[in-house]
Amino acid sequence: MASSMLYGAENVAIVRGRIAPNGLGFNGSELHGRKSLLPRVNLVVGNSNFGGRRRTLVLPKCSVSVPRPASQPRFIQHKKEAFWFYRFLSIVYDHVINPGHWTEDMRDEALEPADLHSRNMIVVDVGGGTGFTTLGIVKHVDAKNVTILDQSPHQLAKAKKKEPLKECKIIEGDAEDLPFRTDYADRYVSAGSIEYWPDPQRGIREAYRVLKIGGRACLIGPVYPTYWLSRFFADMWMLFPKEEEYIEWFEKAGFKDVQIKRIGPKWYRGVRRHGLIMGCSVTGIKPASGDSPLQLGPKVEDIEKPVNPFVFLVRFLLGAMAGVYYVLVPVYMWIKDQIVPKGQPI
Ligand SMILES: C[S@@+](CC[C@H](N)C(=O)[O-])C[C@H]1O[C@@H](n2cnc3c(N)ncnc32)[C@H](O)[C@@H]1O
């Protein structure tokens, strides 16, 4: 029942895991996951607007975060494949890929909850790639205090060429095993990278570890589609988490005051049924110094382990096909936005 109450809610604010009011371009017309969203949610109380009346929702507890083994059919949720994917994608990433999914105004909206209020803050941008999100960070923080980390030297080579990022530290590394000491940074930012992590819980645990007490993590990532064809391609391609999964990963890692802000390209008019490559900005605060209370076993993926080149190629090609579908979706939505009169749902 809670799910049907939430569907169509314009202003959802959930205590502990909090879905914030409209992000950019989001008109509240859709809540992804609909029925599937809430039954496993760990959240306790929420407020929602229904026809102008505010109501309190009582939501059940989350028990998601089932491990997503690398064997599941998500072709690019794999470090080696992501590496090769970006070997080629880095050539067109800024000019061809980002404009359909991750615009400058979306980025600035998504970074707002990171609360970058001082130029002296120490910030790490994990999976920082070509530095597109870092360009938004250095508007608020001195570049010399910002580290861009990525596993792709090809992506980082693009970041190195950007004038405003000249003073940033730029390093190769793995989001699931960060080369920073515990209690190092004031802010952890990661945009559009979690979808490639074989073990997202481990990456979020690392975010917790490297932050100082009172530090804030801001993780921007995809949201899961509800439309069947988009779901098919999303499942084939990479990790599109549900909102409650983000919340659970953050809470399990030890974060407090976990909140989600929905974002999306303006021309989608709030439509979320196809999922979004950049669909939400999740934040949480580290309440105590030291390591995360969450204990994890060994890493699920051993990057050094040899892979069968044929299997690798097939997985890579299938993943690339799914990627093409998600290049076409924003174009389709853009055409609809041009055709359907403003103010009407698309
Ligand atoms: C979609 S790009 C996002 C780049 C940038 N954050 C932005 O906002 O444009 C995803 C990036 O995550 C990186 N990545 C994927 N898996 C990673 C991992 N395990 N550790 C570090 N970086 C990773 C990729 O190499 C790629 O540069």
Judged on CB neighbours under 10 Å (0-12, 13-18, 19+), 309 is: exposed
Ligand 1: distance of its center to the CA of 93 in Å? 11
pLDDT, tens digit, for every residue of 230-287? Answer: 998 888 888 899 999 999 999 999 999 999 999 999 999 999 999 999 999 999 999 9
pLDDT at 58: 32
pLDDT at 198: 87
pLDDT, tens digit, for every residue of 129-138? Answer: 999 999 999 9
Which atom of ligand 1 has the smallest separation from the CA of 107? 8
Q: 152 in ligand 1 pocket by Cβ < 6 Å?
A: yes
pLDDT bucket at 290, cuts 50 / 70 / 90: very high
CB 64 within 8 Å of CB 29: no
Q: 281 in ligand 1 pocket by Cβ < 6 Å?
A: no
pLDDT bucket at 72, cuts 50 / 70 / 90: low
- Residues 24-56 as b/e (b if ≥16 CB within 10 A, e otherwise) read bbbebbbbbbbeebbebbbbeebebbeeeeeee
Q: 150 in ligand 1 pocket by Cβ < 6 Å?
A: yes
Q: 128 in ligand 1 pocket by Cβ < 6 Å?
A: yes
With the most atoms of ligand 1 within 8 angstroms of its CB, the residue from 85, 134, 196, 302 to mutate is 196
In angstroms, the CA 92 to CA 158 distance is: 10
pLDDT, tens digit, for every residue of 212-244? Answer: 999 999 999 999 999 999 998 888 888 899 999
pLDDT, tens digit, for every residue of 101-119? Answer: 899 999 999 999 999 999 9
In angstroms, the CA 23 to CA 164 distance is: 27
Residue 12 pLDDT > 80: no
pLDDT at 211: 98
Of the listed ranges 152-156, 239-243, 250-254, 301-305, the one predicted with least confidence: 301-305
Q: Which of 2-11, 31-40, 63-72 shows the highest mean pLDDT?
A: 63-72
pLDDT bucket at 304, cuts 50 / 70 / 90: low
Q: Which residues contact 265 (CB under 8 A, 6 or more apart)?
A: 25, 100, 101, 103, 106, 276, 330, 333
Cα within 13 Å of Cα(66), Cβ side: 4
The two structure tokens encoding residue 266: 């303006």
pLDDT at 10: 30
